[in-house]
Amino acid sequence: MPTARSTEAGGILLTPQVSRKGMSLSQDAWRRLRKNRVAMISLVAIVSICILAFLTPLLPLQAPDHAQTALQYEEPTISPFWLPTKPLDMELVSQTPQVVAHLETELTDLKLRYELAKQSGENLDNARRQLRRKEAEIQDTIQAPYRQLGYPSLGMLSRAMVRARFALFGNQCINSLCGRDLLGRDLLSRLFWGARISLLVGLVATIVSLVIGVNYGAISGYCGGWIDDAMMRFVDVLYSVPFIFVVIFLLTILGEDSIADELAYWGINRITVFFLVVGAIYWLTMSRVVRGQVISLKHELFVEAARSLAASQSRIIFLHLLPNLLSVVLVYLTLTIPRVMLFEAFLSFLGLGVEPPDVSWGLLANEGIKVITPVKIYWWLILFPSLALGATLLALNFLGDGVRDALDPRLRDA
């Protein structure tokens, strides 16, 4: 009791506010979460997996796509720990900017011609094809030194990290601790590179679903009446559609060569399509939860106060109601990420998700199961991807349960 303590220690009487300081919901939740040992271990595990995945290009691993057919299906080995690797062609790297600059000037030229062709309507296809070919050439030039070594297409940051890796560790890399696959590629490094994609998909797709679900639910709940009815009826209809089948159908259609080309031109590759599609189906439950919450909140006094101060509808929804949904949203978020990752693994496993040369854990598990023959099994190709995926999903699930218990004790055991 703060008052009792302050009377005891007479000196503090003058500043009772200090001892009466309350605990906010988030502080309380954090305190409760910290007491949950399983959830904390999971949290630490997830954070370290994320950091490792982010730093993958910097680690002294072999290149994930470096095929060495002579070493096909080599078993996991630990000695020697270090292997020599091919060096990064620094000369080629240093030349790249010049070549690219030269190509860029050609590109601006082609762009101009394309604009002209657009106006006149002549030779449009031809101009467009040339433009795209040139863009592809620029990308190829930039990627060439890395691709030689067996890296997939890298972004700017990853390229810098690969250069730093060669500067730091030289031409040494860790031996295949997890064995090698059909093409003699190192499974350990493929696991690390796969983690990047698997985690990214989980995160981004969840955020997409979050944005759609929260807005949809909030608007539906706040408006009420026939708008609410119609919007929720729509969700009901979507609920009864077996989504995975529709998504697979959608992905095959979007994967049609000509459409894929068109999308690629707009910078939308398969993974982006994937984010959007997966995000677009996981918002249903979110919208229902948020709607329920908004309905119970919208008759509260603070909303009344905002309305009497002539706040607009959208201001009330987005500034006054949404922040109050934070705990519900957070709980749901941590539980959705593993589900989305599971879904990605599932689709990649079927060969409909991430495409080579990109790797993800689902794809790796699929590769392992595909090479099962009646006489021989390459157990490491199944075990390690399964372990990586399983451990991450398990940790995420535990963390999700922990966050739920911490934020909303009423939901415990549900």
Residues numbered 103 to 162 that lie near another protein (CB under 8 A) are none
Cα distance between residue 405 and residue 334, in whole Å = 12
| Binds another protein by CB under 8 A, chosen from 256, 305, 312, 357 | 256
* The residue to which tokens 């905002």 are assigned: 306
| Binds another protein by CB under 8 A, chosen from 12, 59, 295, 350 | 350
Backbone angle region of 225, left / alpha / beta, with phi > 0 → left and psi within -120 to 50 → alpha: left
| Binds another protein by CB under 8 A, chosen from 346, 356, 357, 409 | 346
Stretch that binds another protein, among 22-30, 133-141, 178-186, 387-395 (CB under 8 A): 387-395
| Binds another protein by CB under 8 A, chosen from 87, 97, 292, 390 | 390
User: Per CB under 8 A, does 413 bind another protein?
Assistant: yes
φ, ψ of residue 177 to 5 degrees: the values are: -70, -25
Alpha carbon distances (Å) from 132 to 106, 208, 223, 260: 12, 29, 47, 14
User: Per CB under 8 A, does 201 bind another protein?
Assistant: no
Residues 6+ apart with CB under 8 A from 139: 153
For another protein, the closer of residues 267 and 374 by Cβ is 374
CA 84-90-96 angle, to 5 degrees, is 140
Sign of CA dihedral 50, 56, 62, 63: positive
What are the respective helix, strand and coil percentages of the chain, to the nearest 5? 75, 0, 25
Nearest to 163 by CA among 359, 186, 154: 154
What is the x/- site pattern for another protein, positions 214-253, by CB under 8 A?
A: ----------------------xx--xxx-xxx-xxxxxx
Q: Least distance (Å) from another protein to the CB of residue 169?
A: 32
User: Per CB under 8 A, does 12 bind another protein?
Assistant: no
Residues 6+ apart with CB under 8 A from 275: 201, 204, 205, 208
User: Per CB under 8 A, does 393 bind another protein?
Assistant: yes
| Binds another protein by CB under 8 A, chosen from 271, 362, 399, 403 | 362
Interface contacts to another protein, rule CB under 8 A: 236-237, 240-242, 244-246, 248-253, 256, 258-259, 338, 342, 345-346, 349-352, 362, 365-366, 368-369, 372, 374, 377, 379, 382-383, 386, 389-390, 393-394, 396-398, 401, 413-414
